[in-house]
Chain A
Amino acid sequence: MNLGTRGALTFRLGDYNFAVRVEEAGGVLDADRLAQLPGVTEPIAGVAAFRGEMVPVVDLAQYLGIESDAPHRYALVLYRGADRFALLVPEIPRLIPGRDLREAPPEAPDPELSDLFESTLETDQDHYHCLNYWQIFESIIPQTASAARDARARRTG
């Protein structure tokens, strides 16, 4: 079964397992010390430097309303064209090769997350929820001119 991905980075947040396809992932960095931005809303934990660029970091657990006692120390960077942002995760994500993943029947972890839910991947042991993370990004970060242009191009194209 072709998943359309070479693999996925998985992490656990609360009682849920989440996955990010490697095609969307730019990398993982240490987020012990994030630069705080003045006047930003709460889901944004700060900004971090990733390969010479400033990346906003979103606290996914806080955004989704998931209680997580573990401190969020790592940032999983996602990129799409010129846009980049990072998800604050409590542990170092685990890379699962595409050969070990299977597409599972869509199953939203929570009705409130149904808008963000995209697909479900599974291995022999666990299920992983893939979310539309860019929807989170767009709902928080104002689109830049280039991003808006790219978005228009995608819609028209």
Chain B
Amino acid sequence: MKGLRTEDDIEQGGSSPPPAVLVTLLAVVLAGVIAVFASGVMVWVGVGALALGAAYFASRNATPKKGSGDVAKARRLLLLLDRGGVADCKVPADFTNEWATVYERVNKASLDMRTGSSALVELEKLRKQIELAVSILDKDKDPLLEARELRSSPLEPLLSYTQDSAATPGSGGQVVSKLTLGEEEELIGSGSDKLPDDWPKPAGGPSSSQDAPARPGTRGAMGSGSGVGAGIGSGGAEMESGLRELMREIEALRTTLAGGASESPRQNEDPAIRTPAQLVDAVVLTAADGIEDLAAGLMRANELASVAERVTNRATLLALNAALEATRSGSEAFAAIAEETRRLAEFAREATDTISRLSSEIEYKVGETITAIHATSEDAKNSLAELSGTAVPVPHAARSARVQVVRLLERCRELLSSLGAPQMPLMPGLEARPGSATKPSKGANSTQDNVENDSPPADKLPLEGILLIEGLKPGANLES
């Protein structure tokens, strides 16, 4: 019957432990009933104790058993993924066998995600480091000593070398007196003291202040410094201005990279940089404008030629009438004048005919040229489109960013060169590209050339388009 429990239901219900709430409720009711029959304080205390004991017993039975540990491990892996991995990974003891391998992989993946080696993150990191270095330099302090993170940054060789340059021997002052090295250590010494072995050294540069030659422009070499700030001195100021410029460049690059994906290439383009098709259009428009002006001038010349023709006709009529009168009168003087008038009229006639013929020829050639330019423009556009289609498309933002990065590197190299430091890799990821690595022996232009050579062939097309248009101008030797 409906609503009645079957034996199976009863058996299933009997096999499962009673809920803690139900047991507690039954214990309280039972205690209450007992208390009603035997009233008294001690009885009530006993009733309470009995209820608490029942509740504790029920809760012990009702608490689910702890899982086998896999779920907990999975939760810990999720937490690890969420918080990001650590560099020195230590697998917990309870992660054994496959779980240890999974833990290491998740740690590595989360560490990669957290540290992110994208260009934007690297640039942001570099920008912050430069900003930090500038702020420390503003306080006339040594960035390498004040900020430990700068020792492992790409700026370390530059900062270190500047420090070495400032600590040249013979400066006469105490270059290094008492410097805080991190939080635990202190470095005490003077200008003639050698730096400790564990002192950060520039890559490929002089290993100590003893090896560093005195360079003009540094306060240490001028002998007027008396402390770290004074030791860094003018070299630091020069470096500071260079770093500020570097930071501006990086800011621009960061903006370009960050906004390149959302903005269309047209919006990012420099107005002075035009596509080959736009150049062809510009050439055609310029030529068309010039030819239209020429045609307008030609029309005016035709009008003047018409007036000249009428004047010539009048002169011819005058000459004829003069000759007619001279013939009738028989006067030789009159005949001579009439003859001169006739010659003048003939001369004017020849000149007018020549002008009219030239004007007609120019008008015809102008019309032909306009037609040829329009036809050639279309051909050039089609050819450029075909050639551009074969080239590997390079996003404009990426190209612009690469150019800016290369300029940035060149600035850094110039800055180092002005300080007398050897070549250093500021942003290793940009120079270590196989097949496009910059050879230091080629000088500063090699990197720029390298980037320009990486541009798609379409970048070289404007000149070809212009030459194509130039070759189709009237009088041009098409075969050549």
**A-side interface residues toward B, CB under 8 Å?**
6-7, 9, 22-23, 25, 27-30, 74, 92-93, 95, 97-98
Contacts and interface: CB of A to CB of B under 8 A. Distances in A.
Contacts of B324: 9, 22, 25, 27-28, 95
B210 interface: no
Given A30-B314, A92-B313, A6 B327 contact: yes
13 contacts: A6-B328, A6-B330, A22-B324, A22-B328, A23-B328, A25-B324, A27-B325, A29-B317, A30-B313, A30-B314, A74-B317, A95-B324, A98-B327
A95 B323 contact: yes
Contacts of B316: 92
Interface of B: 313-314, 316-317, 320-321, 323-325, 327-328, 330
A30 B323 CA distance: 17
Contacts of A27: 321, 324-325
Enumerate the 3 nearest inter-chain pairs by beta-carbon distance, A residue then B residue, closest first: A27-B321, A7-B327, A6-B327
B320 A28 contact: yes
Given A30-B317, A74-B317, 12 more contacts: A6-B327, A6-B330, A22-B324, A22-B328, A27-B324, A27-B325, A29-B317, A30-B314, A92-B313, A92-B320, A95-B323, A98-B327
A74 B320 CA distance: 12
Contact of B327 (A28, A30, A92, A95): A95
B317 A28 contact: yes
A74 B327 CA distance: 20
Contacts of A22: 324, 327-328
Contacts of B314: 30
Contacts of A93: 320
A139 to B, nearest CB: 26
A29 B321 CA distance: 9
A6 B316 CA distance: 20
Nearest to B338: A95
Contacts of B313: 30, 92
Contacts of A30: 313-314, 317
A30 B312 CA distance: 12
A28 B328 contact: no
A99 B314 CA distance: 27
Given A6-B327, A7-B327, A23-B328, A95 B320 contact: yes
Contacts of A7: 327
Contacts of A98: 327
Nearest to B320: A28
B130 to A, nearest CB: 87
B271 to A, nearest CB: 57
Nearest to B328: A22
Contacts of A95: 320, 323-324, 327
Nearest to A92: B316
A22 B325 CA distance: 9
A98 B317 CA distance: 20
A7 B329 CA distance: 12
A102 to B, nearest CB: 17
A95 B321 CA distance: 9
Contacts of B327: 6-7, 22, 95, 97-98
A99 to B, nearest CB: 11
A97 B339 CA distance: 12
A36 to B, nearest CB: 22
Nearest to B345: A92
A92 B309 CA distance: 14
A22 B313 CA distance: 21
A130 B323 CA distance: 20
